Structure 1
């Protein structure tokens, strides 16, 4: 009992310390350079991010958060459940189909993560502690840029520098909007160059996959993630985990946020102990 009380006091103290920090939000920061923004009105309008960060703090971790919406809708957000935890949160807008091909959203996701690597130190953040997360289409985008290294290489960033990938109910086979563009039915499983599963590799960043209940999720979403977890492990990846949230459907973000925070803290502690 004494140990439990000590641990509770510790966690309450950590939580109180994080909440005592003062936070600031800067909105609608363009993550492409001026030349690119001037060349494309849609990029200039859509490719912006918000950053919420602890002021007067050094070496904090950052979570880049991609919204869901099937690559056809949605807007950037700073999830309330991630606020006041001692981290910076970056909420990202990206271009949407059908105004552009869905693959443009992957380009944008890479550019936004590159912005974090190139700029977070200016706010006090630690570039070795940048995590990538998001829900549904946002989870898919994080997986694509974290596993297929060419997207971030184009931005001059090594994808392996990402501290952790933590997608919520992300699509692991080829995204349904990209399949729609190519006339492939929703019920036809496809694993091509637009599928995170195509890029399983042993040297990827730590990976935590979180989905809703397999019986309540979207078309085979749990099974896609389970296959991803299995293949990552078989290819030799040592830090792959999967959580299935029983009783929750596709909109399972609220119970998943504490798991995201636990994983971020676990990886930070692991890095500090090395």
Structure 2
């Protein structure tokens, strides 16, 4: 009986030990950075201003630097109708731990707005970053985008189609490279025409019912020879539509000779593609550091 009780206690002890180690690790990483929260990136008197969604957080390393640091901007996912920067604070802290100035933003969501407005929100955030990143030790001339799921689709669109930034006053894009983590929506034009999966009609809320808009919001159709380098990661067990659209996107980049890397991560599902970023030594962080360094040479 005593032996059985001990066996029952072992899993609980391991669970408690794991929780303690996770919190200790998180505390240690958090101590190495500062977080300034809920900074408005658009003016409060702008039409459509949303005090909850038009805000961003900036994470900066506590360790001083003699020169301005690269800036990594993370755009969250959530099927274009959910998600919040606060869910991904662990990414901001880990990027700062690596020596980046990290920016995590909110943007407006469906059904309140549609995807063109979401992309415009993120473009306005990038404009804000170019104007203010130096105040946080970030280099406005070294801005890198990073996004997961729907946020990956938005990041890709900003990277390949500069008119969103140009419409907000940036004739020359400051984006030096982009990291796409299991990006969704790279080819919504094809996806919404086929309607192959259950509940696909839900995406007509953020994308509307006009095929011309579906195409305009699909980064695949805007790739051009002037695009900056990219890193693209796809989960081996992610959604079939993401596997298909990222392969098409990769092929288009190859055809135009765009410098990029495309990697399929064995065994990973869609959510695991972002939760893996909890681990400081994850391969995406490792490659991001090399990627940023390569653009500075």
2:147 match: secondary structure: strand
Contact 1:27–1:50 (8 Å) recurs in 2: yes
SS in structure 2 at match of 1:100 = coil
Q: Contact (CA 8 Å) 2:101, 2:137: kept in 1 or not?
A: no
1:144 aligns with one of 149, 157, 168: 157
- Residue segments in structure 1 that go unaligned for 5+ positions in a row: 1-18
User: Aligned to 1:211, what secondary structure does the other structure show?
Assistant: strand
Which range is displaced more, 152-161 or 132-141? 152-161
User: Partners in 2 of 1:21 and 1:44 — Cα distance?
Assistant: 28
Bigger CA radius of gyration: 2
Aligned residue in 1 for 2:265: 245
Give the alignment's TM-score, normalised by structure 1: 0.80
**What is the aligned partner in structure 2 of residue 174 from structure 1?**
188
Task: Provide the residue aligned with 1:113 in structure 2.
Answer: 126
- Inter-CA distance 93–20: structure 2 relative to 1 (3 Å threshold): closer
Partners of 2:177 and 2:296 in 1: how far apart? Answer: 15
Q: CA RMSD in A?
A: 2.6
Partner of 1:40: 48
Give distance in 2, aligned partners of 1:45 and 1:21.
26
List gaps (5 residues or longer) in structure 2.
Answer: 1-28, 193-201
- 2:176 and 2:295 in contact (8 A); partners too: no
State TM-score, norm by structure 2. 0.74
Distance in 2, matches of 1:65 and 1:268, equals: 15
Q: Map residues 130-141 of structure 1 onto 2, 5 A cutoff.
A: 130-141=143-154
Aligned residue in 2 for 1:165: 178
> Residues of 1 paired with 2:42 and 2:30: CA distance?
33
Give the alignment partner of residue 79 of structure 2, picking from 67, 70, 74: 70
Counterpart position of 1:59: 68
Residues 1:192 and 2:224 are matched in the alignment: no
Partners of 2:73 and 2:145 lie apart in 1 by 5
* Count of aligned residue pairs for this structure pair: 245
Per-residue CA shift, 1:181-214, capped at 9, x if unaligned? Answer: 4348xxx9x961110001111111111111111x
| 1:22 shift after superposition | 4.5
> 1:145·1:159 contact (CA, 8 Å) conserved in 2?
no
Shift of 1:82: 3.0
SS at match of 2:227: coil
Q: Does 1:89 align with 2:98?
A: no
Which of the two has greater helix per residue? 2
Q: Which segment is superposed worse, 254-263 or 119-128?
A: 254-263
Cα shift at 1:110: 0.7
